[in-house]
Structure 1
Amino acid sequence: HAEPELGHQEFKASKLLVEELEKHGFEVKLGVAGMKTAFIARKGDGSPKIGILAEYDCLPGLGHACGHNLIAASALGAAVGLGEIIDELCATVIVYGTPAEEGVVQNAGGKVIMIDEIKEADVSMMIHAGPSWGSYSTTNARESFLVEFHGKSSHAGAAPEKGVNALEGVILTFQGINALRQHINRDIRIHGIIKHGGDSPNTIPDYASAHLYVRAPSMPMLDETYGRVKAIIKGAELATGATSKVSQVANTYANKIPNKVLSNLFRENVGLGGTDYPKELTPKKSGASTDFGNVSQEMPALSGYINIGDVTLHSPNGTEMTCTPRAHEAMIIGAKALAYTAIDLITDSDVLENVKEEHRKRLEEQD
């Protein structure tokens, strides 16, 4: 938490995690799928194979305002604890160190990049910080992309007619998106920032850019909405005379598939220590997105939320709240619950099959 690192630059965090796992007998490979800060650590050689995922990147200007410090620590704790008895259980625990979950750096989405490696696991799990306990939830699919307009500079007062205003292309893009909102599903999110709008008000900007997100509850809805946004960008190009370019920033994040059986196991195991964890009757819809969604498309996946207090993630409050005694206590409870849930899956083949069967059914319903 004290030394946050941006995505694909998490050298200190990945080194610390790798060294601790090696101390506890894990066989570790660093530099997976072409990412210097990605790793895979395994212990045991039996079946089933339980994947525990660690995230450790931060947000620009905010540090660990999304609690990835807690995610990494919980993954380490759960894996080390489980690793102590993994040979007795005749199973395998695999820790996946997944860089760049926040979609703000180029080629973000470490889980997407290393999905072929993660698919070795039978089930994958992790925790996430939040204002309440939970695990039965969905997240939106997401595209993260850069929009650039190129125009022609000129004196804004003396000869504006000789210029082509690239900034107007960006402004018209946002206006077009705002006009689109009443015609799309209420669960779809489109938002962004202007990264560059010119250097002087006295000069027609010849370059302007914006970083945009499109989020939707499903991949088909995402594809459709992303296509409509790109049409708006093309319209802004035609209206201004500037040329446009759209380029991906992060890999495409899929929507997260919930798993009721896994969620119930996690809730029961959180409650072993007396923690009050309300029942979850229906999946909670989150407007956020994560590359863990891509993992959930491949196998049963659990993302357990730990209650660190009245936190607003992705804000200065989030940075402060993810390093409190309460957050650390919740992280330990979450780490234990992950390990206990893994033990339940390993020792009860019927429960594991129920988890897999629910995943199969949800995939069919999604299609």
Structure 2
Amino acid sequence: MTERWDRVRAPVVDVLLAVVLTVATQVELSLAEVVEGPEWAQRLTFLLATLAVGLRRSAPLGAALICAAAMAAQTPLGAAGVVGGFLALMVVTHSVALRSERVAACVGLAGVLIGVHVYDVLFWEETSVADLVGNAAIFVGIWGLGRGARRWREHAEQRRVEAAVAVRDQEERARRAVREEQTRIARELHDVVAHGISVMTLQAGAARQVLSDDQPAVTAALLAVEDNGRRSLDDMHRLLGLLRPADGPDGGLQGTGVADLVERTRAGGLPVTVVTFGSDHDVAPSLALTVHRIVQEALTNALRHGSREDVVVRLHYAPDEITVEVDDQGRGGGGVGTPGSGLGLIGMRERVAVFDGDFVAGPRDDGGWVVRARLPRIGAPV
């Protein structure tokens, strides 16, 4: 709606400006004390000059040439004490510089200067150097302002386009990061769940072998457990094949020990303090892996973007939930994966979402960075 109104408003404004200049100029001619030459010719040439202003957007070069020609034709006819024609010439000079390409703008300027200096050529004995230079300087200056405004507009448009492209690229990177993180989560959960199913299947087979032959119902039930377990493992392996990139890493478990991760981070030069509340001995493997990944991403972020100040890792193992907080007291940035991209935060948020938890990351009041995640135990994947 706004763009449509702008398209309608621009020509209306131009027409109104042309009408106002035309009326004002014709009134000036009527009130002028001295009008040399045929009055009708003066009125006609000024009429052409002022009406050309209405074309300053749709045909800026044409408007400049028409106005300049009208003023050039008016000069040999005599003189009239009005300024409306020169105001119109100034308007179209600025418009041809602002709205035309370089060649057309230069042609327009040349036409304007010719129109302005016809008097100087015809009556050179009455012309001074100051008048010649002054008149040229006025219109060259106006033309230069128009070209400067055009370059500023082009630069602003280029920045707008670049900003739009950057936003689209960032959104695409974010979507790709989400897909990749979801794939990694699926692969890791596969390893955890596959291990549990394998153990269950083996235990069912062992139990079946020690049963006596007079318990056929139990034997059949255990056989069904073994068979379903093997089928489930086969299905999971086939589905995982769709998630793994053809040339990518296996993506299996890489350990879930936070202590080892902290030691490696300390070796990298980042002071890390770990504060633990509760015990992690009964944490489900998938949940422990998520805790590990959150701490890993946050510490990597502190290494890349921080100022090597102290980092405090707080782990609270409550009966119903696990709370993870990584407090970077330096000046860590918000993104991991690509500097400043925020893709690491996306990955952490996706992992927490698997467990219907809460995730918050943001700057500290004193300039640091803090990551907090709450992971419910009830209903968590195993």
Answer whether TM exceeds 0.5 for this pair: no
Shorter-chain TM range is under 0.3
The TM-score, its normalising length taken from structure 1, stands at: 0.20
More strand by share: 1
More helix by share: 2
Higher relative contact order (CA 8 A, sep 6+): 1
The structure number with the bigger radius of gyration is: 2
